[in-house]
């Protein structure tokens, strides 16, 4: 089963990634339209979140934003098909633009490792793959799937480029080990985690919770904290941005 799924994915990935960029983007938009307008997957949740984020927007604007968000995720699915064929060559690296790498270099020079503060914006997984072929190897705290062959395919695909993954459960040892090896670790902070493991906070005026691991690790190690995020330009190029340390 695992071998068949891997072969099938790579065959489809090869066909899709061979298409011209404009056609790939259009295919991603088609997935988004199917998702939002036809299958209407999680449509109620989309509108519920838009009501919180944009309470003054009209229904027409919320439909437009919701559809655009699904098209963005559709384009992200298309980008995943490129990962098996990424190489440290000009053709692959030209799919990305990297900004603020000097902040990362400066932070790494302190010799304490680096904590990278991130969120689900753009296509972070594709951005991490781009950094890997650029020579920037990261440790990423990431949930795993319950089905093992999906884990093997998904994580193996990205580990082949040099990215390393730390499971969120009992992650302290893995994070400390990476930081003491003077390597960067990515913390994706925009997922709910309540007390006692998480900390109460507010987002868009609503009470929620966030993980405390990043703050605790910074207190223990003194590692610098850099925000990192990605977004996609209209051309299809993925921009990866490192901000100044917090």
What's phi and psi for 202, nearest 5 deg?
Answer: -125, 150
User: What pLDDT does 183 receive?
Assistant: 95
Q: Give the pLDDT confidence of 178-232 residue by residue, as tens digits.
A: 999 999 999 999 988 888 878 899 999 899 999 899 999 999 999 999 999 999 9
Residues 213 and 118: their CA atoms lie apart, in Å, by: 13
User: What pLDDT does 29 receive?
Assistant: 97
In this prediction the pTM is 0.91
Residues 127 and 84: their CA atoms lie apart, in Å, by: 14
Mean pLDDT of 80-84: 92
Residues 134 and 196: their CA atoms lie apart, in Å, by: 39
Residues 217 and 208: their CA atoms lie apart, in Å, by: 22
Residue 93 has pLDDT above 90, yes or no: yes
CB 95 within 8 Å of CB 233: no
Alpha-carbon distances of 87 from 84, 90, 91, rounded to whole Å? 9, 8, 8
Residue 1 has pLDDT above 70, yes or no: no
User: What pLDDT does 119 receive?
Assistant: 94
Residues 219 and 215: their CA atoms lie apart, in Å, by: 6
Q: How many CB atoms lie within 10 A of CB 108?
A: 17
Mean pLDDT of 12-26: 93
């Amino acid at each position: 089963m695992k071998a068949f799924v891997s072969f099938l994915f790579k065959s489809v990935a090869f066909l899709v990634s061979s298409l011209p960029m404009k056609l790939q983007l259009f295919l991603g938009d088609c997935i988004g339209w199917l998702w939002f307008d036809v299958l209407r997957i999680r449509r109620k949740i989309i509108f519920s979140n838009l009501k919180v984020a944009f309470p003054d927007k009209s229904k027409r604007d919320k439909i437009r934003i919701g559809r655009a968000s699904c098209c963005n995720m559709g384009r992200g699915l298309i980008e995943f098909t490129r990962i098996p064929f990424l190489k440290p060559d000009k053709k692959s690296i030209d799919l990305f633009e990297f900004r603020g790498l000097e902040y990362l270099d400066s932070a790494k020079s302190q010799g304490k490792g680096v904590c990278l503060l991130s969120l689900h914006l753009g296509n972070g997984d594709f951005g991490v793959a781009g950094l890997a072929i650029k020579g920037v190897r990261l440790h990423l705290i990431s949930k795993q799937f319950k089905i093992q062959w999906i884990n093997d395919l998904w994580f193996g695909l990205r580990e082949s480029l040099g990215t390393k993954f730390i499971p969120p459960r009992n992650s302290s040892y893995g994070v400390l080990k990476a930081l003491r090896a003077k390597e960067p670790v990515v913390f994706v902070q925009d997922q709910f985690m309540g007390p006692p493991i998480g900390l109460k906070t507010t987002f868009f005026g609503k009470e929620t919770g966030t993980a405390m691991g990043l703050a605790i690790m910074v207190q223990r190690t003194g590692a610098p904290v850099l925000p990192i995020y990605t977004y996609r330009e209209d051309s299809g190029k993925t921009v990866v941005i490192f901000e100044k340390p917090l």
